Amino acid sequence: MCGIVGYVGHQSAGPILLEGLHRLEYRGYDSSGIAVLDRDGAIAVLKRQGKLRDLEAAIDVMPAGGAGIGHTRWATHGVPSDRNAHPHASSSGDVVVVQNGIVENYRSLKVELESSLLDRGQGWLSETDTEVIPELIARELDRGCSFVEALRAALGRLQGANAVAAFHRADPSRIYAARKGSAGGIVIGYGDGEMFIASDLPALLPHTTAVYHLEDGEIATIDAEGAVVDRANQPPLRPQPQRVELDPVAIARGPYRHFMLKEMYEQPRALSDTIRGRARLDPPSALADEFNLTDNQLRSVERVLVIGMGTSLHAAMIGRWWLERIAGIPADFDNASEFRFRAPVIGSSTLVVSVTQSGETIDTLGAMDQVRERWGAPQVVITNVDGSEATRKADASILLRCGPEVGVASTKTFVGSLAALYLLACRIGRARGALDETELTESLEHLLTVPSLVERGLQLSEQCSEIAKSYTSAANFLVLGRGIEHPIAMEAALKCKEISYVHAEGYAAGEMKHGPIALLDQKFPVIALATRGPLFDKMMSAIQQVSARQAPVIAIGDEGDTELAELADHYLGVPHATDLLTPFALTPVVQLLAYHIALARGLDIDQPRNLAKTVTVE
Ligand code: G6P
């Protein structure tokens, strides 16, 4: 999703802005641009549709100037094009803005502002909602406001969540950043005689680890020496930057061809980090520390609802299984974007667990707001980003500690979220008396084996690559699973869609007879997840039904399962896991299959078209 960067200091802003934008590429975008302001008030705005390399190719001479803002745009209002790319300037040309989010009332604002534009013989230059923002600011400046007052007045007119960065020709020594609602974060980075802003940390880390996260409703005035933050009706303050510990090396691709591949191979380590200190055996305890809900609070919970989007929703689906089976508590999952607009019946004794690797997905944040406002129900968030908006909304957070995830398609944060949900189920189960000490010990012992399950699954990369080559031209895949493996079938299908651009459907195998089977023929490969769990025989029947329609079968099951191997056209054997933990054994293999299909098709795996890592618009 859109990314913002900004710089003010003693260096030339242009190259720093471009470098920052490169570090935000993983968020997903379809155009980009920078605006640089020099000491004499000259403004250069450079923007291009396409990748950053297209923008860079269009820059003959880097504009001079020590202040500037930049943007990667993920189109919402108006097609990806040069003119719709940010930055956008006011009709006077004096105020320049980049924006993340959506101005929901931009149509009425355009009508309102149009007459003054027409008076000057000008019109709107783009189809974006963004363009009203510099115009609103400029109008307030004309009325004699300071820039901060003008920005606050302009934001006050906007409906919807927005984050903006801006500058004003009249003051080349400053840039401004502001947040209204949850449209993704803005982080201010403190350098030595220079300051930075960015939508998230990776863009700042090469320069500084001293940062301040701008809060909702704050406006920062930033010059080379520091930042002053204004809040409505409060005196301005100079915030104290915090030190972050993110290791810049951890966000470099290293020897791997893609971030996604690197992050898949980091999964055993990431899982160990998620579990570390949270699954103690002697005496047994789950999530004993760093968790804000007490056993008493957990005992009063009568139901758990797990919500999320995309890959996190699939983790939520598996979380329901564990909550029911391990904690013996009524549990359900929901898609956050649907949950928000239904009339769900939940009460203050429902525990709502949000799964969101970024902690910034707008639909998940919206659902969390609704839970707080309507029911005041207790909330837990499972996220990889400390300090993200979701952590501020929740009563308790379980941080994944997976390290930065750059690949748009979530991998290590998926398995991390699973481990966190499993731990939560154990903790609730123990608090409610559903697990005795022995059962808790056994459950935790099983969990401690999952890093090695994943590690062994990753060893199947070569085999996955060979199989993928046989299906590079397949237009469709059906992925079947049952029970706890059904969400993995859905995750496998999502990965195929996300990075391989292959149409794929993840289905509960029992449902196949009610529709999908009509699609099957020799050209419609079926991936069947069939470990030796309680539903193995039923999966075998489903595979028989697939084979009878001559559809090729890629079966993924237990190592050494000759019966399954004989029935399938291709077979991948994963290490045996207890029936509650097969998702960990299967996940790396379905990720690798999707990865190798995408690789064989020569696709842009880390930045798939139209997708964004952090979805900050509805
Ligand atoms: C985007 C990402 C997915 C992610 C989903 C939910 O679609 O590309 O990988 O699963 O958002 O993101 P969240 O940050 O809430 O887990």
Tell me how far the alpha carbon of residue 524 lies from the centroid of ligand 1, in angstroms: 28
The answer to whether position 49 is within a domain reads yes
Is 128 a member of any domain?
Answer: yes
Q: What CATH number is associated with residue 442?
A: 3.40.50.10490
Band of residue 439 on the pLDDT scale cut at 50, 70, 90:
very high
Which protein residue has the closest C-alpha to ligand 1 atom 7? Answer: 310
pLDDT digits (tens, 9 = 90+) for 362-409: 999 999 999 999 999 999 999 999 888 999 999 999 999 998 898 889
Q: Are residues 282 and 226 in the same domain?
A: no
Q: What is the mean pLDDT of residues 104-131?
A: 89
* Percent over 90 (pLDDT), the chain: 78
**Cα 17 to Cα 547: distance, rounded to the nearest angstrom:** 55
Do 153 and 227 fall into the same domain?
yes
- Report the distance separating Cα 225 and Cα 54, nearest Å: 33
Q: Is residue 474 part of a domain?
A: yes
Claim to verify: residue 247 and residue 299 sit in the same structural domain: no
Is residue 245 domain-shared with residue 276, that is, in the same domain? Answer: no
Least confident of 76-80, 336-340, 423-427, 557-561: 76-80
Query: pLDDT (tens digit, 9 = 90+) per residue, 339-355?
Result: 988 888 888 999 999 99
| pLDDT above 90 (res 291) | no
The residue contributing the CA closest to ligand 1 atom 8 is: 613
**pLDDT exceeds cutoff 90 at 298:** yes
Q: Measuring CA to CA, which residue among 156, 152, 99 is closest to residue 128?
A: 99
Q: Give the position, in ligand 1's atom list, of the atom nearest the Cα of 410.
A: 9
pLDDT averaged over the chain?
A: 93
Distance between Cα 183 and ligand 1 center (Å)? 15
Q: What is the dihedral of CA 193, 195, 201, 207, to 10 degrees?
A: -30
Mutate to test the pocket of ligand 1, among 27, 263, 354, 357 (most ligand atoms within 8 A of CB): 357
* Ligand 1 neighbours (beta carbon < 6 A): 309-312, 356-358, 361, 364, 408-410, 611, 613-615
Residue 29: pLDDT above 90?
no
> Would you state the pLDDT for residue 33?
97
Single residue among 199, 218, 251 that ends a domain in this structure:
251
Across the range 471-484, mean pLDDT stands at 94
DSSP states of 229-249: EEETTEEEE-PPPEE----GG
Mutate which of 311, 414, 609 for ligand 1 pocket (most atoms within 8 A of beta carbon): 311
Burial environment of residue 50 by CB neighbours within 10 A (0 to 12, 13 to 18, 19 or more): middle
In 3-state terms, what secondary structure has residue 529? strand
CATH code at 158?
3.60.20.10
Residue 255 dihedral angles phi and psi, to the nearest 5°: -75, -5
Going by alpha carbons, the residue nearest to atom 5 of ligand 1 is 310
Residue 611 CA: which ligand 1 atom is closest? 8
Decide if pLDDT at 304 tops 80. Answer: yes
Query: In terms of domains, do 176 and 76 share one?
Result: yes
Q: Please check whether residue 617 lies inside any domain of the structure.
A: no
Atom of ligand 1 minimally distant from the CA of 336: 15
Task: Give the Cα separation of 178 and 63 in Å (integer).
Answer: 25
Query: What does the pLDDT read at residue 609?
Result: 80
Residue 161 has a pLDDT of: 84
510-553 per-position pLDDT tens digit: 998 898 899 999 999 999 999 999 999 999 999 999 999 999 99
* Alpha-carbon separation of residue 62 from 15, 98, 522, 575 (angstroms): 8, 19, 56, 55
Is the pLDDT reported for residue 248 higher than 70? Answer: no
According to the model, what pLDDT value does residue 249 have?
58
pLDDT at 250: 63
Distance 268 CA to ligand 1 centre (A): 21
Cis check for the bond before 552: say yes or no (omega within 30 of 0): no
Residue 464 reports pLDDT greater than 90: yes
Atom of ligand 1 nearest to the CA of 358: 14
| SS3 category, 23 | helix
- The answer on pLDDT for 434 being more than 70 is yes
| Assigned token pair, 417 | 């979220």
Task: Give catalytic residues, as residue numbers.
Answer: 2, 613
Q: How far does the centroid of ligand 1 lie from the alpha carbon of residue 607, in Å?
A: 13
Say what the pLDDT of residue 203 is: 86
Q: What CA–CA distances, in Å, run from 532 to 334, 553, 576?
A: 28, 17, 8
Residue having the nearest C-alpha atom to atom 2 of ligand 1: 613
pLDDT value, residue 98:
97
Q: Are residues 406 and 529 in the same domain?
A: no
Please give the number of the atom of ligand 1 that sits closest to the Cα of 409.
9
Q: How far is CA 449 from the centre of its chain?
A: 27
548 and 494 share a domain? yes
What is the predicted pLDDT for the residue at 77? 85
Which atom, in ligand 1's list, is nearest to the CA of 309?
A: 6
Q: Which residue, by CA, sits nearest to atom 13 of ligand 1? A: 356
Please check the confidence at residue 253 and state whether its pLDDT lies above 90: no
Question: Domain range holding 202?
Answer: 3-251
Predicted confidence band of residue 246 (pLDDT cuts 50, 70, 90): low
Burial state string for 65-85 with b = 16 or more CB within 10 A and e = fewer than 16: bbbbbbbbbbbbbbeebbbbb
pLDDT of 24: 86
Residue 517: count of CB within 10 angstroms of its CB? 18
Of 226, 251, 276, the position where a domain reaches its end is: 251
Instruction: Verify that 350 and 493 share a domain, yes or no.
Output: no
Q: 191 and 266 in one domain?
A: no
Same domain as 530, residue 422: no
Report which DSSP code applies to 249. G
The Cα–Cα gap between 447 and 364 comes to 27
Residue 33 lies in a domain: yes
pLDDT band at 184 (very low <50, low <70, confident <90, very high): low
Strand-pair partners of 508: 481
The CA 310 to ligand 1 mean position distance, Å, reads: 5
Which of 400, 424, 448 is the endpoint of a domain? Answer: 448
Q: What is the CA radius of gyration of the chain?
A: 26
Q: Report residue 444 as tokens.
A: 């935790």
166 in the same domain as 67: yes
410 Cα: distance to centroid of ligand 1 (angstroms)? 7
Q: Answer whether residue 484 is part of any domain.
A: yes
Looking at the structure, do residues 377 and 496 belong to the same domain, yes or no?
Answer: no
In a domain, 423, yes or no: yes
pLDDT at 227 over 70: yes
Nearest Cα residue to atom 1 of ligand 1: 613
pLDDT value, residue 48:
96
Report how far ligand 1's centroid is from the alpha carbon of 354 (Å).
12
Q: Which pLDDT does position 357 carry in this prediction?
A: 96
Whole-number pLDDT of residue 407: 87
Residue 212 has pLDDT above 90, yes or no: yes
Give me ligand 1 centre to Cα 313, in Å.
9
Range name among 287-291, 392-396, 457-461 with the lowest pLDDT average: 287-291
Domains contained in the chain, number: 3
Q: Does residue 410 sit within a domain?
A: yes
CA-proximal residue: ligand 1, atom 14 (nearest): 358
